[in-house]
Amino acid sequence: MVKTNKLNVFNDPIYGFIGTPNELIFSLISHPYFQRLRRISQMGLSYLVYPGAHHTRFHHALGSMHLMTKAIQVLRLKKIEITPEEEKGLLCAILLHDIGHGPFSHALEGFVAEEISHEQISLKFMKELNKEFNGQLDMAISIFQGDYAKPFLNQLVSSQLDMDRLDYLKRDSFYSGVTEGNINSDRLISMLNVVDGTLVVEEKAIYAVEKFLMARRFMYWQVYLHKTGLVAEQLLVRIMQRARFLLSKGDNLEGSRPLLFFLQQNGTLTFDAEVLKTFAELDDIDILGALKSWQFHDDFVLSKLCKMLLDRRLLHVKVKKRPLTAEKLNEKLDWIIDKYGLSVEDASNFVFQGEISNRAYSKDEAIRILKKNGKISDVLKESDQLSLKALAKTVTKYYSCYPKKAV
């Protein structure tokens, strides 16, 4: 007989005890689709830079749900109507918002399954779970898609000041040890309000919002887009590309069934229910297991890339305001061609460049400030921080990766 519980408690290092508010939440957490998140790293390969960053999407999903319960309590105290059904929908939507992430989260986004984002896969998971739970996720899906009648409910799940961002900044800061990302989520949540169906922040929290936006900028450039993490993720992508190429030529590669299934796909994949089940079997362990096997493969490029990543003997990487000149890049390319006798195409796996960009604040989805006189204003207009204005501009940098002489 299967044991069922209506309540369970998780001990979280950030917030303390996190409870399961109702039986549906407990059942969703217990589901294999959600348990898979224990095997999906939250910050990709950032642990190669910050050794403590081994937390998972499971941690983040529970943390986001916990913050949502706080936000609901605050808004209800301010006489904002959130029905029991809407509360359940909100908690389910935020709990499942990242369930569609693939191995190593953003590192392999769009590669394992091309032309479909993790948000779209999350929605597919939610719809499948909704069938299993007899329509109990109808409200959650409506809120997640943003077509529910109360816009602020969707904004709590997905906006520039949602529970997702409030958790991942604080959590990633904690596990990476980068204190600049530590935000005051309690202060921000306590100052939330709703005006004309839209989420706003009361004026008293202006400085907390400023710190939040600055923290997000610091975390992107210092952690999420850190050059060492960047080159590691680029190597991982090239390993998967090489594996796919070798399989297309008829080479035999060891690997788990779900990994080989996705690597053998050519062109657009019809992401139906069966494909979703296969995707649900894929996690970080499949990738790491493959790397450990492929490091001994006869193909020099695949073997070398795997060993570099496993042993953390990565390519040299530089991040600058301008891309490396073609002449300098070709010099690096010629060196690796001569050293290993590679073709230009094969050598390009070890010498390449690209660009990264970040914008900490989008004017299109403004954070609205509720002033004491009742008027609504954009945070950029109310802030006296000149640096905050710059956060609305997209900053682009260029990276170049090439071997160290001892590679």
pLDDT tens-digit readout, 42-81: 999 999 999 999 999 999 999 999 999 999 999 999 999 9
Tokens for 133, please give them.
């739970």
In this predicted structure, what is the pLDDT of residue 4?
53
Instruction: Look at residue 163 and tell me whether its pLDDT is greater than 80.
Output: yes
Antiparallel, parallel or unpaired: β 198-202 and 368-370: parallel
> What is the SS3 assignment for 292?
helix
Q: What is the arithmetic mean of pLDDT over 230-236?
A: 97
User: Among 50-59, 172-181, 261-270, 373-382, which is the least confidently predicted range?
Assistant: 261-270
Is residue 37 within 8 A of residue 62, CB to CB? The reply is no
Across the range 306-318, mean pLDDT stands at 96
15: left (phi over 0), alpha (psi -120 to 50) or beta: alpha
Closest CA to 235 of 324, 303, 336: 303
Q: Is 12 left (phi over 0), alpha (psi -120 to 50) or beta?
A: beta
Average pLDDT over residues 289-305: 98
Which of 166, 177, 162, 167 has its CA nearest to residue 212?
166
Dist CA 152 CA 198 (whole Å):
5
Compute the average pLDDT of residues 230-234: 96
CA distance 157 to 197: 15
Beta bridge partners of 402: 316
- The Cα–Cα gap between 170 and 166 comes to 7
pLDDT reading at 192 higher than 70:
yes
| 3 state DSSP class of 141 | helix
Instruction: Identify the weakest region by mean pLDDT among 126-135, 207-216, 300-309.
Output: 207-216
Contact 392, 363 (CB under 8 A): yes
At 20, the amino acid letter reads T
* Band of pLDDT at residue 359, cut at 50, 70 and 90: confident
Pairing between β-strand 192-195 and β-strand 395-402 as defined by DSSP bridges = unpaired
In the chain, what percentage of residues exceed pLDDT 90?
85
Q: Return the bridge partners of 392, or none.
A: none
Where would I find the beta strands (DSSP E) of 65-216?
Answer: 192-195, 198-202
Kindly report each contact of residues 335-343 with a partner whose C-beta sits within 8 Å and lies 24 or more positions away, as own/partner: 335/403, 336/402, 336/403, 336/407, 340/300, 342/300, 342/301
Nearest partner of 50 among 136, 160, 172, judged by Cα: 172
The closest alpha carbon to 239, from 289, 277, 281, 282, belongs to 289
What are the strands of the beta sheet with 368-370, ordered from one edge? Answer: 192-195, 198-202, 368-370, 376-378
User: For the chain, what is the largest distance between any 2 Cα atoms, rounded to a whole number of angstroms?
Assistant: 72
The pLDDT > 70 percentage for the chain reads 96
Alpha carbon dihedral 318, 310, 234, 181, in 10-degree steps, equals -70
Residue 1, helix vs strand vs coil: coil
Of 289, 297, 171, 187, nearest to 223 (Cα)? 171
**Cα(195)–Cα(212) distance, integer angstroms:** 22
Handedness of CA 73, 146, 27, 38 (dihedral sign): negative
CA gap 252, 240 in Å, rounded: 14
| 139: Cβ contacts below 8 Å, ≥ 6 apart | 85, 86, 88, 89, 92, 148
Q: Which two tokens stand for residue 267?
A: 């062109």
Binned at pLDDT 50, 70 and 90, residue 1 comes out as: very low
pTM for the whole structure: 0.93
d(CA 139, CA 103): 28
Look at residues 100, 143, 95 and name the one whose alpha carbon lies nearest to residue 123.
100
First to last CA, the chain: 57
Q: What integer pLDDT is reported at residue 365 of this predicted model?
A: 84
Range 320-345 average pLDDT: 92
119-158 pLDDT, tens per residue?
999 999 999 999 999 999 999 999 999 999 999 999 999 9
Confidence check: pLDDT of 6 > 90: no
With a cut of 60, say whether residue 296 has pLDDT above it.
yes
Q: What's the pLDDT score for residue 5?
A: 54
